Amino acid sequence: MALTVNKLMVVGAGQMGSGIAQVAAEAGLKVYLNDISEEYVNRGIANITKILSKNVAKGRITEAEKDEILARITPSTSLSDASSCDMAVEAATENMEIKTQIFKNLDAALPTDAILASNTSSLPITELGAVTNRPDRVIGMHFMNPVPVMKLVEIIRGLATSDEVYDTVHALAERMGKVGVLVNDFPGFVSNRILLPMINEAIYCVYEGVATPEAIDEVMKLGMNHPMGPLTLADFIGLDTCLAIMEVLHEGLGDSKYRPCPLLRKYVKAGWLGKKTGRGFYVYE
Ligand SMILES: CC(=O)CC(=O)SCCNC(=O)CCNC(=O)[C@H](O)C(C)(C)COP(=O)(O)OP(=O)(O)OC[C@H]1O[C@@H](n2cnc3c(N)ncnc32)[C@H](O)[C@@H]1OP(=O)(O)O
Ligand SMILES: NC(=O)C1=CN([C@@H]2O[C@H](COP(=O)(O)OP(=O)(O)OC[C@H]3O[C@@H](n4cnc5c(N)ncnc54)[C@H](OP(=O)(O)O)[C@@H]3O)[C@@H](O)[C@H]2O)C=CC1
């Protein structure tokens, strides 16, 4: 049976965390948006405000509704704020050490029956569950970018995830206007097991001089009707996140077909992380 979630903590106020906080607040939940520093939380809230203001300008919501949504979001820089929450969704950097530490801290802070979800793109939910004292209440809730626009939430059951937790997260996704799709806990799940090798192959095409980034993107947009070419999409996701996902696929599935392209590694080492740093395969103003 599904439980009702009223108060949610979102950990990580980057592009995904701020999107998740927005759709949760739009669905009527009270939300703590948490990050390491106040500056990052404020940046996340500024992004949400910008998108809501656009929705006001488009006549989709009123100024008063915008204010009500924003009033449901409370900034947080302390995980102890989770003590009053029914659930937390972790959306911090795609790194197992960082996520493991957050899961341990959230496990200590949340009420014992609260649900602990991760928005990870690829990392093992079962392993995250195992560092807590509540593996039955740990689950993957994988939103797509940009969160307010994309319909899918991939729901990943760990080995120990209970039916009650799955039902609750599925119902919560629906309440947020999304469609939940159940998948099992394998590296990259379904979405990124299929998407990221395509992006990596597009990067190999640049690396091997098959064509320019612009030409590769045009081929996939005009030839396959993709809304964004794979290199524009890689820049949009973040090249650090793309590399982290390829590493998980490579190590987790043990097949050389998942080896990350050396050019992807080089860009990440250079700090060219895509749109978020102003430079990736393209330059952003
Ligand atoms: C890595 C992972 O783990 C998993 C992932 O998420 S992989 C990434 C999955 N996402 C994708 O594949 C996205 C592919 N791209 C697209 O679907 C589209 O290009 C797009 C939706 C991002 C933009 O659409 P577009 O038609 O090219 O541009 P545009 O007309 O400006 O935007 C369409 C709508 O999206 C909204 N939008 C665009 N970017 C947005 C953002 N970052 N945040 C919120 N809303 C956004 C716009 O405001 C616009 O809304 P309205 O229709 O209500 O006016
Ligand atoms: N980008 C995408 O398209 C998608 C990403 N995801 C997943 O969502 C997660 C977040 O990705 P995304 O939002 O793109 O990344 P961003 O880099 O935009 O945001 C990550 C945020 O987490 C913060 N953070 C790092 N460590 C901690 C911590 N210990 N406590 C609290 N916050 C922390 C970062 O702060 P700082 O800047 O200081 O490091 C940053 O603000 C990743 O797991 C990613 O794989 C899932 C779907 C799509």
Distance CA 227, CA 179 (A): 20
In the prediction, which pLDDT does 54 show?
98
Residue 43 pLDDT level (bands cut at 50, 70, 90): very high
CATH topology of domain 7-184: Rossmann fold (3.40.50)
Q: pTM for this one?
A: 0.97
Residue 139 pLDDT more than 90?
Answer: yes
Asked if residue 35 has its Cβ within 6 Å of ligand 2, the reply is: yes
Residue 276 pLDDT level (bands cut at 50, 70, 90): very high
Asked if residue 140 has its Cβ within 6 Å of ligand 1, the reply is: no
Q: Is 250 noted as a catalytic residue in this protein?
A: no
Residues 34, 118, 119, 192: which is the catalytic one? 192
Substitution candidate for ligand 1 out of 149, 228, 240 with most atoms within 8 A of CB: 149
Distance CA 140, CA 184 (A): 10
How would you label 37-65 residue by residue, b for 16+ Cβ within 10 Å and e otherwise?
Answer: eeebbeebbebbbebbeebeeeeebeeee
For residue 134, how many C-alpha atoms fall within 13 Å in the half-sphere facing its CB? 20
Q: Is 26 noted as a catalytic residue in this protein?
A: no
In the prediction, which pLDDT does 105 show?
98
Q: Is 142 noted as a catalytic residue in this protein?
A: yes
Residue 20 pLDDT level (bands cut at 50, 70, 90): very high
**Smallest Cα–Cα separation from 219: which of 201, 194, 237, 193?**
201
The fraction of the chain above a pLDDT of 90, given in percent, is 99
The DSSP-derived string for the chain is: -PPPP-EEEEE--SHHHHHHHHHHHHTT-EEEEE-SSHHHHHHHHHHHHHHHHHHHHTTSS-HHHHHHHHHTEEEES-GGGGGG-SEEEE---S-HHHHHHHHHHHHHHS-TT-EEEE--SSS-HHHHHHTSS-GGGEEEEEE-SSTTT--EEEEEE-TT--HHHHHHHHHHHHHTT-EEEEEES-TTTTHHHHHHHHHHHHHHHHHTTSS-HHHHHHHHHHHH--SS-HHHHHHHH-HHHHHHHHHHHHHHH--GGGPPPHHHHHHHHHT--BGGGTBSSSB--
Asked if residue 149 has its Cβ within 6 Å of ligand 1, the reply is: yes
Distance CA 234, CA 196 (A): 9
Residue 285 pLDDT level (bands cut at 50, 70, 90): confident
Yes or no: say if 30 and 108 are a contact pair by the CB < 8 Å rule. no
Question: Is 266 part of any known ligand binding site?
Answer: no
Task: Write down the domain spans for the chain.
Answer: 7-184, 192-276
Question: Is 121 part of any known ligand binding site?
Answer: yes
The closest-lying atom of ligand 1 relative to the alpha carbon of residue 236 is 8
Residue 145 pLDDT more than 90?
Answer: yes
pLDDT digits (tens, 9 = 90+) for 67-115: 999 999 999 999 999 999 999 999 999 999 999 999 999 999 999 999 9
**Domain 7-184 matches domain 192-276 at the CATH topology level:** no
Cα(134) to centroid(ligand 1), Å: 35
Cα(91) to centroid(ligand 2), Å: 5
Residue 87 CB contacts under 8 Å (≥ 6 apart), including other chains:
5, 7, 8, 9, 114, 115, 116, 117, 168, 172
Give me the CATH code for the 192-276 domain, please: 1.10.1040.10
In the prediction, which pLDDT does 3 show?
87
Predicted ipTM beyond 0.95: yes
In the prediction, which pLDDT does 141 show?
98
In the prediction, which pLDDT does 1 show?
82
Question: Is 145 part of any known ligand binding site?
Answer: yes
pLDDT digits (tens, 9 = 90+) for 230-252: 999 999 999 999 999 999 999 99
Mean pLDDT for all residues in the chain: 98
Asked if residue 18 has its Cβ within 6 Å of ligand 1, the reply is: no
Mean pLDDT over 50-54 rounds to: 98
Mean pLDDT over 16-38 rounds to: 98
